[in-house]
Chains A and B, each alone.
Chain A
Amino acid sequence: MGHKIDPNLWSDGPQPHLMGGKLPSGQIVFPMPVGDAAQGVEPYKLARRGKLWSWTSQGFLPKDPYEGPGSGPGEGPPDFQPFLLGYVELPGEVIVESRIVDARLEDLHLGIALEFCIVPFNATHDTFAFRPVASSESTKEHRAA
Chain B
Amino acid sequence: MSENVYIIGAGIHPFGRTDGRSGREQGVYAVREALSDAGLDWPDIECAYGGSAAAGSADIMVNELGLTSLPFTNVANGCATGGSALAASQQAIASGMYDLALAVGFDKHPRGAFNAKPSDYGLPEWYGQTGMMLTTQFFALKIQRYMQLHGISRTTLGRVAEKAFRNGTLAPHAWRRSPVDLDTIMNAPMINDPLTKYMFCSPAEGAVALILASEKKMKELGADGVKIRSIAVKTRPPNSFEVFQAGVSIEEGGKPTVLASKAAFERAGIGPEDIGVAQLQDTESGAEIMHMAENGFCKDGDQEEWLANGWSEIGGRLPVNTDGGCLACGEPIGASGLRQVYENVEQLRGRAAARQVPGASGNGPRFGYSHVYGAPGLSAVAILERV
Contact = CB atoms under 8 A, between A and B. Distances in A.
Contacts of A142: none
Interface range on chain B: under 10, 10 to 19, 20 to 34, or 35 or more? 35 or more
B96 interface: no
B130 A56 contact: no
A95 B190 contact: no
Given A58-B137, A63-B115, A27 B124 contact: no
B112 interface: yes
A66 B279 CA distance: 34
A39 B16 CA distance: 47
Given A6-B125, A20-B247, A99 B130 contact: yes
B197 to A, nearest CB: 9
Interface string A108-130: 01100000000001000001000
A27 B249 contact: yes
Contact of A127 (B128, B130, B191): B130
B247 A95 contact: yes
B115 to A, nearest CB: 4
Contacts of A55: 141, 144, 193
Given A54-B145, A94-B247, A59 B189 contact: yes
Given A6-B124, A65-B117, A97 B247 contact: yes
A6 B247 CA distance: 16
Nearest to A30: B247
A83 B112 CA distance: 19
Contacts of B248: 53, 87, 94-97
Given A9-B126, A56-B137, A56-B193, A89 B250 contact: yes
A34 B115 CA distance: 23
A93 B131 CA distance: 24
A56 B250 contact: no
A92 interface: yes
A109 B145 CA distance: 10
A62 B250 contact: no
Interface string B142-171: 101100110000000000000000000000
7 contacts: A31-B246, A54-B148, A56-B144, A63-B113, A65-B115, A65-B117, A96-B247
Given A54-B145, A65-B117, 11 more contacts: A31-B124, A59-B190, A59-B192, A62-B113, A62-B133, A65-B115, A93-B250, A94-B247, A94-B248, A95-B250, A121-B130
Interface of A: 5-6, 9, 20, 27, 29-31, 34, 53-60, 62-68, 83, 85-87, 89, 91-97, 99, 105, 109-110, 121, 127
